Structure 1
Amino acid sequence: MMNRRTFLLATGALALPDCGPNHATLLRDVWRPPEVRSTALRSVLDELVRLATLAANSHNSQPWHFRCREGSVEIRPDFARRLPVVDADDHHLWVSLGCAAANIVEAAPAFGLSGEARMREGPDGSHVQVALAPAPDTGERSLEAIVGRQCARSTYDGRPLEATAARILAGTGRESGVDVDLLVTPEHRSALSELIIRGNATQVADTRFRKELESWLRFNASHAAQTRDGLFTGCLGAPTAPAFLARMFFDGSFTVERENERLRAQLDSTPAFAVVTGPEATPAGWVAVGLAVQRLALAATRLDVAHAHVNQPVEVAALRGQLAKLVGHEDRRPDLVLRLGHGPPMPRSLRRPTEDVIERSGG
Structure 2
Amino acid sequence: MADAPLNGIRIVELAGIGPGPFAGMMLADHGAEVIRIDRPGRGGITIDAKDPLLRSRRSVALDLKKPEAIAAVRRIVGQADGLIEGFRPGVTERLGLGPDVLLADNPRLVYGRMTGWGQTGPMAHEPGHDINYLAISGALHAFGRAGEKPTPPINMVADFGGGGMMLAFGMLAALLHVQRTGEGQVVDAAMTDGSALLMSMIWGFRGMGRWSDRRGENLLDTGAHFYDTFECRDGKWISLGAIEPQFYAEFRAVMGLDAPEWDRQMDPRSWGPLKAELERRFREKTRDEWVAAFAGHEVCFAPVLGFDDALADPHNRARGTFVEAGGVTQPAPAPRYSASATVAPTMAGERDDAGVLRDLGFAPQEIAALGH
**TM-score of the two chains, using structure 1 as the length reference:** 0.22
Which has the bigger relative contact order, CA under 8 A and spacing at least 6? 1
The structure that has the greater radius of gyration is: 2
The answer to which structure has the higher helix fraction is 1
**TM-score of the two chains, using structure 2 as the length reference:** 0.21
